[in-house]
Structures are given as C-alpha cells and as structure tokens.
Chains A and B, each alone.
Chain A
Amino acid sequence: MKTGLSIFIAAFIALGTSWCGFVLAPLLQLGSAQQTVILQTTDNWPLQRTGAATLGLQVYRAYGCAACHTEQVRQTGSAFEVTLTSLGNQKPADFIEFTKSLFVLPGLANYTNAIAASLNGWNGGLPKTLLTATDKDVATEMADRLKAVGVKSETAIIATGPDIARGWGSRLSVAADFLYDQPVQLGSLRAGPDLANIGVRAPDANWQLAHLYAPKSVTPNSTMPSFKFLFEVRKVGASPSPEALNLPKEFAAADGFEIVPKPAAKQLVAYLLSLKANVPLYEAPFTPATAAK
C-alpha cells in the first residue's frame, strides 16, 4: 500500500466483484424472470394486479407501511400427512390391528404412539389423518404399505414453521411472488403482523377500511396508528353513501355525519386484498387444503 494507485486498485477490485455478484448477477439471473406455473395446474403465477391495486401499492409505499409490516413468510420445514380415504374391504378394527404390524418398521417406530393415539376410539369415519411425518420417506413407506393391503390414502405436503402456524401463509415466500411489485415492499420489522397473505386472511374490504380508519375499532388492543386522513368525514347528503363506514358507536362520526373512504384508501385496500401468496409452486410445494381432504 505504498501508492494511491494500489489502494485504488484494491478497493476497486473489492467493490467491483461484489457489484458483479450482487447487482449484475441477480439482474442477469432474475431480471427477465417470467410468470411460473402453479403446481399441478396450467395456471400462471403471479397475476398482474388490477389498476386500483397497482395504485394501492403506491399508497402503501408513500405511507411507509413497510416500516412496521413485512411481506415475507418463512418456513422451517415440511410435514407429510398421510390421510386414509378408503379402507377397501377392511373393517376399522381389522385395520387398527393391521397398523400394529407396521410399528416394527424402523422408520415408523418414532410415530407409534402418535398413530395409536389417533386411532384410539376411531369408529371408521373417513377421511382420517393417520400420520404426520417430518420425513418424506416415512410417509411414502406408510403409503406403500397401505396400498399393498388395498387401503387407499393420500399424502399431503404441509409447510411448517411459526409464521405458517400463525396463519400468515401456506408456504414460504419465494422470488416469484414479487414479480410484478414496483417497488417490492419486503419490510424488515414485524411491529405489525406479516401481510403476505392478508388478502386471504382478512378478505373483507369493509373490515380493512374500518381497520385503517380506527384500528382499535376492530382489534381492541391495536398499537397500529390510525390512517384517518385517508377518509373524509362529511355531512350525510340526501341519502347516506353506500360506502360509509359502519363503525362501533365510540368510533363513529357524529349524528348527521358519515365517514367515507377517499380514493387512496380504496386503492390501498384493493392492494391489501391482492396479497395472497396461497398457491403451491415448484420451489414451494404444499397441498392446498381443499385438495387434501
């Protein structure tokens, strides 16, 4: 490091390589990404947003909702659930007897108690979840054994992890989910809940509007600030507006007045309702609830 030139070269190489790695390479690898196909369908993902929802993303950006909310769900693992759909010609009691013969299998030894407990007092009602394994091979082996004795079963993949258990998503968020977001609002702090699937979790636009106007009116202990300025309080005209919020008394407007959302509030809610991330993808498989049972 004797000359200015050598410092310059060292710094240039250092930053230049990381620029190639973290700017250029992602641009090349992902910059022209296209829609992907939803698993076991021919449908594309993600869909383009409607006009109102696209504008709503700008409202979300402008008010900095991402300062408190993330839009990315994490997953710690997957579980494989084997569900009986038909016993073939077996009687429930015979079947329970049969399962005991499976317990000697090395893979299943860990699940003996769980299976026995779930079959305890079972009267043969179907479908019946028999096994939830964290290991795919165990589930496959179970399904194979059942098939061999003429019992039909389905194996569902379930994403696991605290975020998913909280109902914040059916699977982890992946790059494809954000394809059309301009700008992408991943967020980095969960002062409020994750919103990756808020459109599935709280699909009622009126609930969303009431929550934005007065968060405490729908979530009593809420610490979310209210966004009252996205609404207009005005005198009721000849007839009440169909858009007027229907709020509990303590939050409602004075008599003769009504609270109606401004366009920005409606766009914001359209955006929130467009957040779903509820389809299985190749890189994030799971079995949607309706298909499993």
Chain B
Amino acid sequence: MNLTENNSSCDREINDSLRVPLLALFGGAAVWLIVGLVLGLIAGIKFHAPDFLGACPVMTYGRVAPAANDAVLYGFCIPAALGVALWIFARLSGQPLALPLVPVVAANLWHLGVFIGTAGILLGASSGHTWLEYPRAAAVILFAAFMLIAVSAAATFGWRRQQELYPSHWFLFAGLLWFPWIYSTANILLNSHQLPRGVVQPIIGWWFANNLVFVWLALVGVGTAFYFLPKIAARPLANSGYVLLAFLTLVFFGTWCGIPQGAPVPAWLPTLSSVAAALTLVPLLAISIVTLKTVCGSNVSCKGGPFCFIRFGVMSFIVSGILYVSAACPQYSRILNFTWFGAAQTQLQLLGFAAMILFGAIYELLPQVMGKPLPQPALAKAHFYLSMIGVLLFFVPLVLAGVVQGEKLADANIPFADANTAALKFLRVSTTGQMLILLGALLFAVNIFIMTIQWKLGIAKTVIAYIKSPLETAEVKS
C-alpha cells in the first residue's frame, strides 16, 4: 500500500478532523467492551454456580448471555471498526474527514442505542432472535447512527484527492453496504409485531447472523489488517491478485453460509450453505497466503505492539473460519451442532479476531490522532499478552467441551447429565480465560480514558487561559 500518502501539514489536518469522532466512538466502545465482558463472566459463572445472582430476573442466564454477546459485538466491535474505517478512509483519501460533526453525533447516538438495547434485553424485551435481541427502538437508533457514519465515510471517499483504490477500500466499502442492508432486512422482518410464519424466522435469522458475525466482521477485520500490516511492516501488501480473489470469494461464497445442517427447514437451504462453507476455504486460504507473504521476512519487532495484535487477529480469523467450515460439514455437524463448539467459534471470531485487530489498529492510530504517544505503553503490551492467553484459554476449552459433549450426546446410553458434567469441566478453564480477557480490556480502557481526559484537560486549560488573559486596554475603556 502507498507508504507516503500524506505530507505532514495534510496529516495534521486529517488528525484534527478525526480526533473528536474517534474519541467518541472508541471511548464508548471501551465502556461497552467492559460491560459485555463482565456480563459474559457473570453468565459463565452461572454454569458453576447456577443460582449466582439468581434471585434477580434481570441477571437470569437467558438475558445476561445474549446481552453480553451483543454488548461485545454492537457495543465494541462495530463502533470501534467504524472509527478505524473512518481513519483509513481519510488517510487513503489524503483528505480530512468530510462532515466531521456527523460521526460525533452518530457515535453518541450509537452508544445510546446500545444502552437501550442492553437494558431492553435485561428487562425482558428481547426479540428472541439471536444477534437481533435488541428491541425495535434500539435497532432504529443503531441503524440511523450507522447510516450517518456511512455517509461521512462515503463523502470522505468521494472527495478523495488520491484516485487510486486500495484493497482496504474494497473490504471496508463493502462493509458499509452490508450492514445497513442486513440489519434493516432482519429487523423489519423479525423485530415486528407480525412475524413471518414458522421457520422463515430462523432462516432469516441465520442469514443475518452469518452475514454479520462471519461476513461483516471479516470484511472490516481483514480490510483493517490489510491496511495496517503492510504499513507497519513497511512493505507492500503481497499478491494483489490473491487479495482480489479473497475479496470476491468472501462476498460471493461467505454470504451463503449459516443455515445449520439438519435444521427443520427445506433441505435445499442447509445443502446450499454447506457447499458455500466448503467454498469459503478459498478466501481463507488466499488471506492466509497474502498475510504470510506480507508479514514473513519483515523485520518488525513486535513485542506486544499493534503488529502483534493484528497478526494474532488474522491467525484467529483463519482458525475461526476453519471451525466455522467444519461445523457446516454434515459428518461433523451431527456431533458439533447444539454444543459449546458453536459458542467457541463465535467467541473466537469476536474476541480473538475482530477485537484483537481493532485493538491493534487503535493502539497504532490513536497516538497519531492525538499527537502524543500512548500514556501507558506498558499497559498496552500487557494487554496483548493477557488477551492472547485469555483468548486461547477461552476458546480452546470450549472447542474441546463441544466435541466431548457432542460425542456423549450422540450416544443415547450416556445420560444427559454426564454429557453436561463433562463439558462443565472445560468451562472452568474457559471462565479463567474470560477473566484474563476482561483484565486486558480494563488496561485498554485505561489508556483510552487517560488520553481522553488529557485531551479534555488540554481544552479546559486553553479555555481558562483565554478567559484569564488580560483584556485589551481598549476593550476595558469602552
């Protein structure tokens, strides 16, 4: 990718234009990440102590668990990804952000939407469809906020000085189209008073969930990685032919995945999905090759820095993709369906892939935007190791739990409770992983908050200095 896209005065303009919108997006995202992880931890603990916080309907497992997942995805991943995308669009365009006030409003609107949604789930107003639990009011707000940010991003893109298009553009641009389409379709059909008949609901729900959690996150995550990896490694993105192949196969095949094998729906649907899942190995392979060729041989010493985060994120994406494809394969799905395996894949996709790439991107871009280094670089490093170990401890035991549970459930002579107990042993370890991830997220939040506070204090100081400065004698006289 072009390494000398901006001269320094233009750089400053770009960074100035992005400062407020990005702080608004990332600050709220950091809060929601912590909320989501705390809720996730509560949900996890309930498997060891079923009646932990059990007296209170707000904290019942069936509410806390979806609220946790949604807070991580809608509260953290999406706004953080939008912030990073705005930055990338502005940089690649060589232009300050167009309409910079719009994303500031949108960021606050977005966080309000997540707040209403989370409260809605905890109070029992969930729609009952996975990843679409937020009640309608929240969904409308989220949709509007997304559109505002998309307008600002598209305007920045449209008014660009650089005419060239980069691979990151393809991925991020497609992401801007993807979300409003799937989110509006799914909410109009599944978050209404009169739902479609019977299993049409889960079919649309699976289509949405796949296109959000698998395709959308892949678009913004890989798009971001393909911007930052070459940048940090100071070498061009390898094999642009493969990148194009990866993009096209990801959007054309990935979007057809998601209907589980054996679902009570017309047989052509799951069949189509499993064929699509097998074909999705093509973009996975292409992305691995491009990443390997770009990363290997570069002499970046990463030591827990942004490069580490993003590299780990891409590896998680490949592993999570392989898990996803294998669960769609009829032989395995018989065992893996309805077990912890699905949760393992989802959590790896959210926390191992999307979140890690976003952390790395934010650690890389925020010091530039703020014009000063991270206040606590050591915490950022610790964050990387905590997150990496946490993610591994979280998802590997869940995968094993899923396999063991699935094999026991497949043998009707083994009592149900035994399958459950076998899985619970692994869940102990994964709860430890959750705690480490939470600890890491707290360190992340510390850096973001200190930066925000320093910036606010800086503004306050300027204002105070301005007020205190002695008035011109001419003014005093009149």
A176 nearest in chain B by CB position: B198
A178 nearest in chain B by CB position: B198
Contact A11 B199 (CB under 8 A): no
Shortest CB distance A115–B (Å): 24
Q: Which residue, A23, A33, A66, has most C-beta atoms of chain B within 10 A? A: A23
B405 nearest in chain A by CB position: A190
Contact A189 B339 (CB under 8 A): yes
Q: Which of B55-63, B228-236, B360-368, B435-443 lines the interface with chain A?
A: B55-63
Answer yes or no: B470 CB below 8 A from chain A CBs: no
Contact A229 B56 (CB under 8 A): yes
A183 nearest in chain B by CB position: B128
For A27, the chain B residues whose CB sits under 8 A away are 196, 200
In residues 311-352 of chain B, which contact A (Cβ within 8 Å)? 334, 337-340, 342-343
Contact A64 B65 (CB under 8 A): yes
Contact B264 A174 (CB under 8 A): yes
In residues 83-132 of chain B, which contact A (Cβ within 8 Å)? 124-130
For B126, the chain A residues whose CB sits under 8 A away are 61-62, 64
Contact A2 B197 (CB under 8 A): no
A22 nearest in chain B by CB position: B207
For B455, the chain A residues whose CB sits under 8 A away are none
Contact A67 B251 (CB under 8 A): no
Answer yes or no: A149 CB below 8 A from chain B CBs: no
A12 nearest in chain B by CB position: B177
For A182, the chain B residues whose CB sits under 8 A away are 194-195
Q: Which of B7-15, B289-297, B407-415 lines the interface with chain A?
A: B407-415
Answer yes or no: A93 CB below 8 A from chain B CBs: no
Cα distance A224–B60 when bound, in Å? 11
0 or 1 for each of A172-195: is its CB under 8 Å from B? (1 = yes)? 111111111111111111110100
For B182, the chain A residues whose CB sits under 8 A away are 15
Contact A68 B62 (CB under 8 A): yes
Contact B338 A188 (CB under 8 A): yes
Answer yes or no: A70 CB below 8 A from chain B CBs: yes
Contact A162 B197 (CB under 8 A): no
For A72, the chain B residues whose CB sits under 8 A away are 263-264
Cα distance A190–B405 when bound, in Å? 9
Contact B62 A65 (CB under 8 A): yes
0 or 1 for each of A108-144: is its CB under 8 Å from B? (1 = yes)? 0000000000000000000000000000000000000
In residues 69-100 of chain A, which contact B (Cβ within 8 Å)? 70, 72, 74, 76
For B197, the chain A residues whose CB sits under 8 A away are 30-33, 179
0 or 1 for each of B182-219: is its CB under 8 Å from A? (1 = yes)? 10010001100011111111111011000100000000
Cα distance A166–B418 when bound, in Å? 13
Cα distance A15–B202 when bound, in Å? 18
A30, A64, A224: the one contacting B50 at CB < 8 Å is A224
Contact A23 B185 (CB under 8 A): yes
Contact B198 A33 (CB under 8 A): yes
Answer yes or no: A226 CB below 8 A from chain B CBs: yes
Cα distance A33–B203 when bound, in Å? 15
0 or 1 for each of B251-273: is its CB under 8 Å from A? (1 = yes)? 11001101110111110010010
For A10, the chain B residues whose CB sits under 8 A away are 174, 248, 251
Answer yes or no: A8 CB below 8 A from chain B CBs: yes
Contact B181 A19 (CB under 8 A): yes
In residues 150-178 of chain A, which contact B (Cβ within 8 Å)? 162, 165-166, 172-178
Answer yes or no: B420 CB below 8 A from chain A CBs: yes
Size band of the B side of the interface?
35 or more
Contact B269 A22 (CB under 8 A): yes
0 or 1 for each of B378-416: is its CB under 8 Å from A? (1 = yes)? 000000000000000000000000000100011110001
Shortest CB distance B52–A (Å): 8
Answer yes or no: A48 CB below 8 A from chain B CBs: no
Answer yes or no: B178 CB below 8 A from chain A CBs: yes
Contact A184 B199 (CB under 8 A): yes
A15, A64, A173, A186: the one contacting B255 at CB < 8 Å is A15
Cα distance A176–B264 when bound, in Å? 9
Cα distance A189–B264 when bound, in Å? 15
Cα distance A61–B177 when bound, in Å? 31
Contact A15 B211 (CB under 8 A): yes
Answer yes or no: B66 CB below 8 A from chain A CBs: yes
Cα distance A162–B128 when bound, in Å? 28
Answer yes or no: B20 CB below 8 A from chain A CBs: no
Shortest CB distance B137–A (Å): 16
Answer yes or no: B449 CB below 8 A from chain A CBs: no
For B202, the chain A residues whose CB sits under 8 A away are 184, 186
Contact A7 B62 (CB under 8 A): no
Contact B124 A63 (CB under 8 A): yes
Cα distance A70–B129 when bound, in Å? 13
Contact A64 B203 (CB under 8 A): no
Q: Which residue, A181, A184, A189, has most C-beta atoms of chain B within 10 A? A: A184
Cα distance A64–B196 when bound, in Å? 20
Cα distance A225–B53 when bound, in Å? 10
Cα distance A64–B60 when bound, in Å? 8
Contact A165 B269 (CB under 8 A): no
Contact A21 B252 (CB under 8 A): no
In residues 147-181 of chain B, which contact A (Cβ within 8 Å)? 157-158, 165, 169-170, 173-174, 177-178, 181
Shortest CB distance A23–B (Å): 6
For A33, the chain B residues whose CB sits under 8 A away are 197-198
Answer yes or no: A288 CB below 8 A from chain B CBs: no
For B266, the chain A residues whose CB sits under 8 A away are 26, 29-30, 175
Cα distance A134–B61 when bound, in Å? 42
Answer yes or no: B428 CB below 8 A from chain A CBs: no
Contact A183 B190 (CB under 8 A): yes
B165, B339, B343: the one contacting A7 at CB < 8 Å is B165
Answer yes or no: B424 CB below 8 A from chain A CBs: yes
Answer yes or no: B476 CB below 8 A from chain A CBs: no
Known: A8-B173, A225-B54. A22 touches B264 (CB 8 A): no
Answer yes or no: B5 CB below 8 A from chain A CBs: no
Answer yes or no: A18 CB below 8 A from chain B CBs: yes
For B199, the chain A residues whose CB sits under 8 A away are 26, 30, 175, 178, 184, 186
Cα distance A23–B207 when bound, in Å? 8
A13 nearest in chain B by CB position: B252
Answer yes or no: B144 CB below 8 A from chain A CBs: no
Shortest CB distance A129–B (Å): 19
Cα distance A10–B173 when bound, in Å? 11
Additional A-B contact list (19), CB under 8 Å, known A30-B265, A184-B202, A188-B338: A1-B170, A1-B244, A4-B173, A11-B173, A11-B251, A17-B255, A22-B203, A22-B207, A30-B266, A62-B125, A173-B264, A190-B339, A190-B409, A191-B420, A193-B416, A222-B50, A225-B51, A226-B50, A226-B51
Q: Which 3 A-B pairs have the closest CB atoms?
A: A64-B62, A165-B412, A62-B124
Query: What are some 7 contacts across the A-B interface (CB < 8 A)?
Result: A8-B177, A18-B207, A21-B272, A22-B269, A62-B124, A184-B198, A221-B417
